[in-house]
């Protein structure tokens, strides 16, 4: 028996009332996700397994989005992880992890925010797992990437872009 307030009991099937049958409600979702490109380099093996020095890690992220079809965008989360010591490179992992994102009836500013902040947040745990597995399979301790606040990074990028545009505006304009 359905409880009061249950989603199944509260469906309004009247399209005239703007309910489930109408195609005017904002909709977003991940259609699929996949590894688009993965490269793992272990250039100094087996000698590097004997190096006792703590490695210096450099991890870089890049987010991209492009239209893949009507109401569908491909969001790519690129991760580059490099571990080096004074003796040389331990490993280099380059991953492009993608998701096909369906967007319908979203204003452009909301779609942009979803594609560059929310979608990477949803893809990140899976990309993190791929990177951890890749470093482990290369013979090193799994690299467990710390969680990232993509929403804050998105807001920072918007603020930086607005500041740069303000600096580039001719005198008297802002």
Q: Is the per-residue pLDDT at 71 higher than 50? A: yes
Query: What does the pLDDT look like over 20-53, one tens digit per residue?
Result: 555 678 889 999 999 999 999 999 999 999 998 9
pLDDT of residue 24: 79
Q: Is the per-residue pLDDT at 15 higher than 60? A: no
Q: How many Cα atoms are found within 13 Å in the side-chain-facing hemisphere of 60?
A: 7
Report if pTM > 0.85.
no
Q: Is the per-residue pLDDT at 1 higher than 50? A: no
Mean pLDDT lowest for which of 9-13, 63-67, 101-105, 119-123?
A: 9-13
Spatial CA neighbour of 30 closest among 88, 97, 107, 130: 97
- How many CB atoms neighbour CB 142 within 10 A? 15
For 118-133, what is the mean pLDDT?
A: 97
Tokens found for residue 42: 């272990």
Select from 3.10.420.10, 3.30.365.10, 3.40.50.2300, 3.50.50.60 the CATH code of 26-141.
3.10.420.10
What pLDDT band is residue 11 in, cutting at 50, 70 and 90? very low
Q: Where are the domains of the chain?
A: 26-141
């Amino acid at each position: 028996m359905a409880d009061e307030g249950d989603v199944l009991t509260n469906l309004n099937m009247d399209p005239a009332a703007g309910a489930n049958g109408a195609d005017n409600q904002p909709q977003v979702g991940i259609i699929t996700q996949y590894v688009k490109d993965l490269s793992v380099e272990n250039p100094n093996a087996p000698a590097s397994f004997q190096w006792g020095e703590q490695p210096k890690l450099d991890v870089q992220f890049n987010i991209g989005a492009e239209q893949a079809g009507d109401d569908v965008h491909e969001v790519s989360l690129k991760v580059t992880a490099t571990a080096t010591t004074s003796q040389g490179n331990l490993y280099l992992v380059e991953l492009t992890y993608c998701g096909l994102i369906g967007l319908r009836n979203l204003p452009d500013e909301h779609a942009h925010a979803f594609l560059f902040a929310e979608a990477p947040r949803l893809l990140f745990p899976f990309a993190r797992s791929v990177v951890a597995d890749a470093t482990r399979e290369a013979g090193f301790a799994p690299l467990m990437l710390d969680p990232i606040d993509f929403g804050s990074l998105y807001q920072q990028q918007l603020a930086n872009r607005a500041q740069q545009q303000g600096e580039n505006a001719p005198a008297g304009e802002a």
